[in-house]
Amino acid sequence: MKSFRYAVVLTGSISTGKSTVVEILNQKGFSFIDADRVAHTILDREYKKIAELFGLEYIIDSKVDRKALGRLIFANPKEKKKLEKTLHPLIYKEIKRQSKRLDNLKKPYIIDIPLFFETNRYPIEKSIVVYTPKEKQLERLIKRDTFSKEEAEQRIDSQIDIEIKREKATYLIDNSGDLNALQEECARVKEKILSDFR
């Protein structure tokens, strides 16, 4: 059986509200694979390789200092490519392994991949995009991570524009309203996914 047969990708952009959507859809019974969690595990496991590539100042107590490494790679596309070349094949392999296990259950499950459209690596046809207009995204990111406006814009601009992702979505969850509106959006999308996989 081919991989990712019952998979639906959940994506969006930084500060569009993906983690809240994950919680809601989890409560609605979907199984999840979290690409970020997989990436963090692999990043820590590969800390010696990271030290070799970027220097020992990015390692604290045999763990990668993700904040410091993040500052480096978001400011330097060449370093970002170097990191991706090392990590992405390992992340893909682990996600594929978890996906095979969930495909055996023969029901839709969700893989949370923040950079799904950017990496263009996963052969998954259906995607959920969590959407928020850019100005709201910027506002939330500054508030959440206490970034300067310039830092926040740099993070947002390192990803494909949210309006382009919106166009590419199979299912769109609009998170520009309040929590009740978001709950309704998630309920609507859940029903649509279940009917599409029947």
Q: pLDDT grade, residue 139 (50/70/90)? A: confident
| Residue 1, pLDDT score | 60
Q: pLDDT grade, residue 182 (50/70/90)? A: very high
pLDDT digits (tens, 9 = 90+) for 18-59: 999 999 999 999 999 999 999 999 999 999 999 999 999 999
Residue 105 CB partners (closer than 8 Å, separation 6+): 6, 31
Torsion of CA 131, 137, 143, 144, to 10 degrees: 50
Q: What is the pTM of this model?
A: 0.86
The percentage of residues in the chain with a pLDDT greater than 70, rounded to a whole number, is 99
Q: Kind and range of the H or E element at 37?
A: helix 35-45
Residue 165 has pLDDT above 90, yes or no: yes
What's the mean pLDDT when you consider all of the chain?
92
